[in-house]
Structure 1
Amino acid sequence: MDAVIPAAGRGSRLGELTDDRPKGLVEVAGRPLLAHVLETSVEAGADELVVIVGYEAGRIVDRFGDAFEGVPITYVHQRERKGLGHAVLQAEPHVDGTFLLVNGDNVFAESVEPAVAAVEGADAVLAVEETSPAVARTTGVIETDEAGRVKGIVEKPDDPSSTLVTTGCYVLPEDVFHACALCRPSAEGEYQLSEAVGLLVRAGYDVATVRLGERVNVNAPADVERAADLVERQ
Structure 2
Amino acid sequence: MQGVVPAAGEGTRMRPLTAKQPKGLVGVAGKPLLTHVFEQLTALSITELIVVVGYRGEQIREYYGNSFEGTPITYVRQESRDGLADAVCRAAGAIETDFVLLNGDNVIRANTKELVARHREADADVTALVEEVPKPEAGKGAVFETTDGEITGIVEKPTEPPSRLVPRGCYAFSPKIVHACRLVTPNETGEYELTDAISLLLWAGHVLETVELDGWCYNVNTPADRETVTERLRSEES
- Answer yes or no: same fold by TM over 0.5: yes
Match of 1:138 in 2: 140
Does residue 216 (structure 1) correspond to residue 218 (structure 2)? The answer is yes
Match of 2:45 in 1: 45
Q: Cα offset for 1:48? A: 0.5
Match of 1:13 in 2: 13
User: SS of the counterpart of 2:51?
Assistant: strand
Overall identity of the aligned pairs, in %: 45
Instruction: Confirm or deny: 8 A CA contact 1:98 1:173 kept in the other structure.
Output: yes
Does residue 35 (structure 1) correspond to residue 7 (structure 2)? The answer is no
Instruction: Confirm or deny: 8 A CA contact 1:115 1:126 kept in the other structure.
Output: yes
Unaligned ranges ≥5, structure 1: none
Question: 2: distance between equivalents of 1:64 and 1:131?
Answer: 36
Matches for 1:1-234 after TM superposition, within 5 Å: 1-119=1-119, 120-121=121-122, 122-144=124-146, 150-212=151-213, 213-232=215-234, 233-234=236-237
Q: Please, what TM-score do these two structures have when normalized by structure 2?
A: 0.94
Question: 2: distance between equivalents of 1:105 and 1:215?
Answer: 10
Amino acid at match of 2:211: V
Question: 1: distance between equivalents of 2:224 and 2:109?
Answer: 17
Give 4+ residue runs of structure 1 displaced > 6 Å after superposition: none
User: SS of the counterpart of 2:79?
Assistant: coil
Q: Cα offset for 1:146? A: 6.1
How many residue pairs match? The answer is: 233
Instruction: Confirm or deny: 8 A CA contact 1:142 1:165 kept in the other structure.
Output: yes
Deviations 1:199-223 (A, max 9, x none): 0011011101112211111011111
Amino acid at match of 1:230: R
Question: 1: distance between equivalents of 2:21 and 2:184?
Answer: 31
Question: 1: distance between equivalents of 2:136 and 2:45?
Answer: 34
The CA RMSD measured in Å over matched residues stands at 1.4
